[in-house]
Amino acid sequence: MFAKQITFFAAVLPVAMAHIGLFDPAAFDFDGNGYSLVEPLANLPFDRWWFHGNKNKQPKAGVAPVNLPAGGKVTLQFSCNKRFTSFGGGGSNNNPCPSDTPSMHAGTPINDNALLGCGLAIAYKSDVNQVQPADFTIFTVNTQCVKTLRTDFQVPKDMPPCPNGKCVCAWFWQGQNSANEMYMTGFNCNVSGGNANAKIGAPKPPVYCKGDKNKCVKGAKQPEYWANDRSNIKFEGYDKKPAYNANWGYMDGAQTDIFTSGGGSGGNTNPQPTANPPPATTLATSTKKSTPAPTSAPSTCSWPGHCAGATCKTYNDCSDDLTCISGKCAKK
């Protein structure tokens, strides 16, 4: 029902893009309609959210897996529609969604402190049908996702090689200014270089640990599976949304702590400043910039213009835990 609704909107309102997805020829369903990969995953049974339901929509024969150069970086493209990527005739600037900034789910203009980051996970299995949720380890994070079309991810230098020349990877994201929903896109990947003697530990689900580093799960961590069947984390509300940053124990850049043996320390981090903790001045500036002057809006919420009483078509148009009832955002 939900998927049908989204398809319907994509068809009649091509300008209202609303979300962000990963586009790469090695991604499952890359040859879809250019919008389907952008659809959020919420309240879905396992088979429909796992790999976005696209396990069988494998890349065309001959498409190379995404190369993960150990100790280097991989650049991927994120957009609200394939047509803004270099694969769809766009890509001349670095804006992931020139037609709709709210698609990034971090305010308009984008408030860096509302960016929840994204992560790439790897499973050391070549057959996608063998991959289970507990097989995925987040090996790199970019805390500034999805601010730019082209986004860099640092690859740990000790990544072991893939079995049979191929691993299965997936991208995970969620936004702050949106309903409870997650994003997962599968893609084929392969490690080049690396350390054949290194071993990645059994990944554990992360926990929310803002303000208490001792609470953070150390070592290899799974992605955050939530908002659908078979969650692996505790969701404690809008202010503690799942995120790929220090609030959930992930470092920015290469996850250099995932190895149980053979793995070195050090490694790269992303060149961008992290959002944790932001300097007080940055916080004040960006808060000021992104918070519009008080208006006579019927209520306040974290996504201005999408609070209780705002016009909506689906729950995705409404902030926090509001839903869309008779065309207006309202409490469930």
Ligand X SMILES: *[C@@H]1O[C@H](CO)[C@@H](O)[C@H](O)[C@H]1NC(C)=O
Based on the number of CB atoms within 10 Å of its own CB, is 155 exposed (0-12), middle (13-18) or buried (19 or more)? buried
Tell me, by CB under 6 A, how many residues bind ligand X: 7
Binding mask 25-64 for ligand X (x = CB under 6 A): ---------------------------------------x
Choice from 21, 34, 65, 119 touching ligand X (CB under 6 A) = 65
The secondary structure of 246-286 as a DSSP string is GGGTPPSEE-TT-EEES--S-----SSPPSSSPPHHHHHHH
Applying CB under 6 A, the span of 10-18, 97-105, 161-169, 197-205 interacting with ligand X comes to: 161-169
Both structure tokens of 96: 């992931």
Name the pairing type of β-strands 328-330 and 66-69. Answer: unpaired
Choice from 88, 98, 161, 305 touching ligand X (CB under 6 A) = 161
Residues of span 190-219 touching ligand X by CB under 6 A? 190, 192
Name the pairing type of β-strands 137-142 and 183-192. Answer: unpaired
Applying CB under 6 A, the span of 72-80, 160-168, 179-187, 267-275 interacting with ligand X comes to: 160-168
In angstroms, what is the minimal distance from the CB of 196 to ligand X? 10
Applying CB under 6 A, does 166 fall inside the site for ligand X? yes
Residue 256 falls in which region: left (phi positive, over 0), alpha (psi -120 to 50) or beta: alpha
Kind plus residue range of the DSSP H or E element containing 123? strand 118-123
Applying CB under 6 A, does 163 fall inside the site for ligand X? no
In angstroms, what is the minimal distance from the CB of 68 to ligand X? 9
Applying CB under 6 A, the span of 144-152, 158-166, 233-241, 296-304 interacting with ligand X comes to: 158-166
Phi and psi angles of residue 330, each rounded to the nearest 5 degrees, phi first: -155, 160
In angstroms, what is the minimal distance from the CB of 154 to ligand X? 18
Based on the number of CB atoms within 10 Å of its own CB, is 41 exposed (0-12), middle (13-18) or buried (19 or more)? buried
Applying CB under 6 A, does 99 fall inside the site for ligand X? no
Name, in order, each residue with C-beta under 8 angstroms of 1's C-beta and a sequence gap of 6 or more.
none
In angstroms, what is the minimal distance from the CB of 188 to ligand X? 8
Note the residues at the interface with ligand X (CB under 6 A).
64-65, 161, 165-166, 190, 192
